[in-house]
Structure 1
Amino acid sequence: MSDMFKGQVAIVTGAGGGLGREHALALAARGAKVVINDLGGSRDGSGASQSAAEAVVDEIRAAGGEAMASAASVTDFAAVSQMVADTMAQWGRIDILVNNAGILRDKSFAKMELDDFRLVMDVHLMGAVNCTKAVWDIMRAQNYGRIVMTTSSSGLFGNFGQSNYGAAKMALVGLMQTLSIEGAKNDIRVNCLAPTAHTRMTEDLGLPLEALAPALVTPGLLHLVSPDAPTRCILAAGAGGFERAYITLTQGDFITGPEAAEQVAARFDKISDRTGEIVPEMGAAQGMIELTKAQSAQG
């Protein structure tokens, strides 16, 4: 096994089990010193215990690696900041952050309480924001950092009963898009991983355990946090399959005038035509394309 992460320090949230545990073990096996962060709650976010994180630390140490446990809640910025301070005191740097912690509060939107919506957003989105903010200046000072947001097909493409989870997971893609731009000059590469795996999050779905082992997702994570990592990538992974998802923009059409509303409807097929669609480098590309259409029409 390679030592591609030798000398590096990684923080993995939600690492007491499932995907986070596999990510942490794989990083440690390849030389990284790893902070195992896990609040130790149930999958709906209730309860807390450091035992899950400590068990993974014990596994890593038994294999000859270095690790430390943290039970900080990712929703508590002060606790996250203390975790980061403890990591710096112990090892002096932070190279990798894997934002993996999450909970589920699934219900159809009609039946969902807003408190359940807010909590899922707080854990997935603000949890990732808190952890990323806490390490951002450290990575800027180092001129090196690798950050992964854990998104989901439920956010990218939707899933019944997961409006809160899907909204949070798609918000992480937006966070990644901007941070990858802002971090580029300091070699901070930011990506998203959209996993398909059998964990306690999917235990009610009746999926085959072996085919959807969390360990089959981790090779994708390792690439996203490696020295040769891409940036601004949405990597889907599961059951040994790896794909990339993109947010694209069609070439569209130019429509103005008093009948514009009617023309948008009449020409919607052309607006939707994916021939020549692009993946914009940043949000300003949309405005530039639209202004180019307007200038061409005036010429």
Structure 2
Amino acid sequence: MNAGFAPNYYGDESKKIIHGDALTELKKLPSGSVDLIFADPPYNIGKDFDGMVESWNEEVFLAWLFECIDECHRVLKKQGTMYIMNSTENMPYIDLKCRKLFDIKSRIVWSYDSSGVQAKNFFGSMYEPILMMVKDPKSYTFNREDILVEAKTGAKRALIDYRKNPPQPYNQQKVPGNVWDFPRVRFLMDEYENHPTQKPTALLKRIILASSNPGDTVLDPFAGSFTAGAVAVDAGRKFIGIEVNNEYVKMGLRRLRISSHYSEKDLEKVKKRKTKNLSKKSRNIETTGMDSTN
């Protein structure tokens, strides 16, 4: 949203960071120029992104988001694929919008553990929905061999499929289904970045390996912690990331190893917790002056 924001550009054709507003910068990209789009736009549920707080009127938010989706459809190649994720509250509206433009191939559930923090008076959400969609349902990239997972029926139970003639063991590997069980990124993980909605590397790796080829261009219009960019570059893809927040741009410069006017110290990774709430142990120390476990 932030119309009129003056962007800065970092990198080259192999990996580029655009510091600017997503919609404004999407409109500048050539039509049919990218092979894969991963879009993780704001959820509009009150998150604080280093001082930029989501607090838009729902009608205004959806109108802006739908315009971003229109632009993503325009810049995507005919054989390209787009993934978009959002909150459970917003996804029904996004689904209805996207089915007018794309052929939706999969409705994916990213499932994760709540770590004991859960709603008390209703069934709290423990997943986030993702749409996988294409322009041409008969011609798009899907590298099934690159994302195979263990098939428990064949690998662990070693069952025989007697429907085949002659009978054969079940396959030990299979293409993942549409329920993906990846843990959320936690403070103690090496991949943790100072971003409130960071997505796991494993999730982005599955998407990028499945739906793009080496040398293809991957676009993330809401780059955030730049996990998509880091995965894409490591996998031999080209990358374009758009991000409005300067702190996250610096995160991307470090993760993508792009030269800039910032010093090494400016880009240094210093981990901060995403919540200001103290742990039970820390609260006890503050209130009693000593560690309660001693």
TM-based fold match above 0.5:
no
Structure 1 or 2: more strand by fraction: 2
Q: TM-score range by the shorter chain?
A: 0.3 to 0.5
Structure possessing the higher relative contact order (Cα contacts under 8 Å, 6 or more residues apart): 2
TM-score normalised by L of structure 2? 0.33
